Structure 1
Amino acid sequence: MKAVNRLFAMLGSLALLCIASGSVAEENIDTQATLSHFQAASQTQPFFDSAYGYAVFPSVGKGGFWIGGAYGSGTVYKAGTVTGSAKLYQVSFGLQFGGQSYSEIIFFQDKRAYERFTSGSFELDAQASAVALTEGAQAKAGTAGLSASSGQQFIDASYTNGIAIFTYAKGGMMIEASLAGQTFSFEPRN
């Protein structure tokens, strides 16, 4: 476990060095554009109506060759109000090659799920599942298996352990059959 934590810290430091500094205004524009995109998707609309809160990551960069990693920063909301910022770190092991960029949103069903996330030590293991939203096609992956559809079909997404996760691919190409886990940090808004 210590080796995994060190690997998360190393990848996080490397990601911080690789990311160009941007202004808060640019981050807000990206966050609002990403929120608008997720709010327009029929799959996520029910979650915006019922969720206690959510965390949105406008741009997560991911890459790997056998061992991979991902990093992104985002904004956390409760009842539609910004409560802080978050960082996403991911480490993956297995068959993988390439790089990609995606947006991610995590909905918190209730206060308990929100507080677990904002405690600062929230982790998603390989058993968590995410629904991928793309134009005309969707996919869902998790321990229950894989499913995909195209056109206007609706994916039956629901909360698992108080959270629901959606992603939207922005670009890149990655071939992957790996085991990954995400960890998050939270910084309350002052």
Structure 2
Amino acid sequence: MKAIKQVCLFLLICSMPLVANTQSKKDQKVIKEADQAAKTLLEVNPGIRHYFKNSAGYVVFPNVGKGGLIVGGASGNGVLYQDNKRQGMAALKELNIGFQAGGQALIEVIFFEHKADVEKFKEGYFEFDAGVSAVALHEGKSLDLKYEKGVAVFTHSKAGLMAEASVGAQKFKFHPFK
């Protein structure tokens, strides 16, 4: 009986790292950065708290790299939150064309108005076109953005400078946590 208990205890201890480490190191880094990015946005403009509290869900992309010269693009990885819980990892890809020059790093947060909008994102049927615009967050600036097509998008520049008048689309992929 004692040997069975020892074997069970040994198996339990050996399996703990598998349970605790369900996300890759890259995902863990993005999760940490996404949590920090949300805190940064709240510090820059506390008015965004309303969106964090009242949305059906949101996805935080803590490091979106964007650049271009005539043809441009952007990409980043993020975390989807629903009911204040992490649901999974998201990837953003953007391709655009038009007048643009430069590069920048930014935080992007997409707030979903309804649960159906979150589910649409999770199922992979979600992309932005020219009809959805993002609001750049500035310290102390009033936030009066309304949801468009079920989403509200905020960005905050971290570094770089980019002049842009382009048309393109953002596409997203979602991978739930297991």
**1:139-158 to 2 correspondences below 5 Å:** 152-158=140-146
1:1-190 alignment to 2 at 5 Å? 23-40=26-43, 41-135=45-139, 152-190=140-178
Aligned residues: 154
User: Residue 45 of structure 1: CA displacement?
Assistant: 1.1
RMSD: 1.6
Structure 1, 92-101 or 25-34: larger mean CA deviation: 25-34
- Deviation, 1:43, is 3.0
TM (normalized to structure 2)? Answer: 0.81
1:153 CA drift (Å) = 4.0
How many Å apart are 1:154 and its aligned residue? 0.9
CA positional deviation for 1:25? 3.7
Q: 1:126 to 1:45 in 2, by over 3 A?
A: same
Matched letter for residue 160 of structure 2: G
- Residue identity in the other structure for 1:82: R
State the distance in 1 between where 2:41 and 2:83 align: 16
Instruction: Indicate conservation of the 8 Å contact 1:64/1:98, yes or no.
Output: yes
Letter in 2 for 1:38: L
Q: TM-score, normalising length from structure 1?
A: 0.76
1:59-79 residue CA offsets vs partner (Å, 9 max, x unmatched): 000110100000000000110
CA shift for structure 1 position 98: 0.9
| 1:134–1:169 Cα contact (<8 Å) kept | no
Higher share of residues assigned helix: 2
Aligned to 1:44, the other structure's residue is in SS state helix
Is the strand fraction higher in 1 or 2? 1
Unaligned runs of 5+ in 2: 1-23
Structure 1 unaligned spans of 5+: 1-20, 136-151
- How far did 1:175 drift? 1.3
Question: What does residue 5 of structure 2 align with?
Answer: none
The 1:38/1:153 distance shift into structure 2, 3 A limit, reads closer
Output the CA distance in 2 between the equivalents of 1:96 and 1:44. Answer: 28
For residues 30 and 94 of structure 1, the distance between their equivalents in structure 2, rounded to whole angstroms, comes to 31
